[in-house]
Amino acid sequence: MLRFNGLTKKYGKFYALDNFQAELENGIYALLGPNGAGKSTLMNILVGLTAQTSGEILFNGRNTEQMGEEFRAKIGYMPQYPGFYPEFTAMELMRYMADMKCCPRKQRDERCLELLESVNLTEQRDKKIRTFSGGMRQRLGLAQALINKPEILVLDEPTAGLDPKERVRFRNMVRKLSEQMTVIFCTHIVSDIETIAKEVILIHHGKLIQQGSIPMLIEEMQGKVWELIPNADELEKLLEQYPRSSLVSRNMQTVIRIVNDEKPHNDAYACEPVLEDVYLYQFGDDSV
Ligand code: ADP
Ligand code: MG
């Protein structure tokens, strides 16, 4: 079990993390929040790349800083901006990472090949990384994160640069992996995690906003999601008045969907909430 205990990270007077608090067990945890929320900062502290200003992380009750190398050996990390060596081939990168993580030499090549196979890069194993597409790079990023058979897999915005088909593939790979490890999937894209996350941790301005299963988060939105067929002269005003709103198409008609505690308009009707509404409710109003 992993526990973030009052984690705070200050850059000067700015709080990138502000007394962040959460508990994780097995399965896929989505760390969901807009850009700048503090997701990467939290993950950088977890993997030991950044030091917190205060607070601690506990793994099965033990302080991860004190565990040091013993804890790092349990982590697989796919960074948001992987700085892979472009002149390395896929196989060379895997060997390099294996050596960094002190994998036994004897099994090294076998393990590297097995992982490249699992992300479907066997044919490209001797190609230079600089020739790789975004999707191939992300798959290689996943393979290298798995080299030490981690107990905790950290994926920081892993679907950036993937096309819709590659996103689906990536999600399926992660779902499979989560049978064997805890996965922390950082993203600002709801659809990346809505079919796979066991729990969603909402983060904003460095603070924990909400944590729960997807059905639970959606249930709390009952009675807060409305739709309305607007008159042409009302549309602009409604969009301005309700920043937590979006335009959707229903039966060829443009409908305004509004997330709001109270009924926003006489003609509005209540709708079944979805996870996207939770995101809009918590993060939709940029002025907050
Ligand atoms: P996210 O990954 O959720 O997009 P980050 O953790 O990268 O958010 O950033 C959180 C906040 O901390 C942002 O406002 C960002 O500008 C700020 N920040 C991150 N790293 C630094 C740094 N090295 N120096 C100053 N501010 C930083
Ligand atoms: Mg980030």
Q: Which residue from 7, 9, 13, 14 has its CB within 8 A of the most atoms of ligand 1, so it is best to mutate?
A: 14
**CA-nearest residue, atom 13 of ligand 1:** 36
Nearest atom in ligand 1 to 38's CA = 6
Q: Rounded to the nearest whole angstrom, what is the distance from the C-alpha of residue 37 to the centroid of ligand 1? A: 8
When computed from its CA atoms, the radius of gyration of the chain, rounded to whole angstroms, is 21
Q: Rounded to the nearest whole angstrom, what is the distance from the C-alpha of residue 105 to the centroid of ligand 1? A: 38
Q: Rounded to the nearest whole angstrom, what is the distance from the C-alpha of residue 218 to the centroid of ligand 1? A: 29
pLDDT for 287:
52
pLDDT for 103:
80
- Per cent of the chain over pLDDT 90 is 85
Q: Rounded to the nearest whole angstrom, what is the distance from the C-alpha of residue 135 to the centroid of ligand 2? A: 18
Rounded-to-integer distance, Cα 137 and Cα 69, Å: 27
Mean pLDDT of the chain, nearest integer: 94
When comparing pLDDT for 128 and 162, which is higher?
128
Length of the chain: 288
Range 117-154 burial, b when 16+ CB lie within 10 A, else e = ebbebeebbeeebeebeebbbbbbbbbbbbbbebbbbb
- Per cent of the chain over pLDDT 70 is 99
Q: Rounded to the nearest whole angstrom, what is the distance from the C-alpha of residue 20 to the centroid of ligand 1? A: 15
pLDDT for 203:
97
pLDDT for 58:
98
Which one of the ligands is nearest to 33 CA? 1
Q: pTM for the complete prediction?
A: 0.94
Output helix, strand, coil percentages for the chain, rounded to the nearest 5.
35, 30, 35
Q: How confident is the model at residue 82 (pLDDT cuts 50, 70, 90)?
A: confident
Q: Per residue in 166-216, pLDDT tens?
A: 899 899 999 999 999 999 999 999 999 999 999 999 999 999 999 999 999
**CA-nearest residue, atom 14 of ligand 1:** 36
DSSP 160: T
pLDDT for 101:
86
Alpha carbon separation from 187 to 41, 70, 104, 141, 275 (Å, rounded): 13, 27, 33, 16, 14
Q: Per residue in 27-60, pLDDT tens?
A: 999 999 999 999 999 999 999 999 999 999 999 9
pLDDT for 260:
96
pLDDT at residue 105 is higher than 90: no
pLDDT for 162:
86
Q: Per residue in 221-241, pLDDT tens?
A: 999 999 999 888 899 999 999
- Mean pLDDT on 108-117: 95
**CA-nearest residue, atom 24 of ligand 1:** 11
Q: Rounded to the nearest whole angstrom, what is the distance from the C-alpha of residue 41 to the centroid of ligand 1? A: 6
pLDDT at residue 288 is higher than 60: no
Q: Per residue in 244-272, pLDDT tens?
A: 999 999 888 989 999 999 999 999 999 99
Give CA 254 to chain center in angstroms.
Answer: 31
**CA-nearest residue, atom 26 of ligand 1:** 11
pLDDT for 163:
87
The residue type at 92: E
Helix (H, G, I), strand (E, B) or coil at 235: helix
Q: CB neighbours of 191 closer than 8 A, spacing ≥ 6?
A: 167, 276
Is the distance from the beta carbon of residue 40 to the nearest atom of ligand 1 less than 6 Å? yes
pLDDT at residue 102 is higher than 60: yes
Residue in this structure with the two tokens 């960074």, named with its chain if needed: 79
pLDDT for 12:
96
Is the distance from the beta carbon of residue 269 to the nearest atom of ligand 1 less than 6 Å? no
Nearest atom in ligand 1 to 203's CA = 3
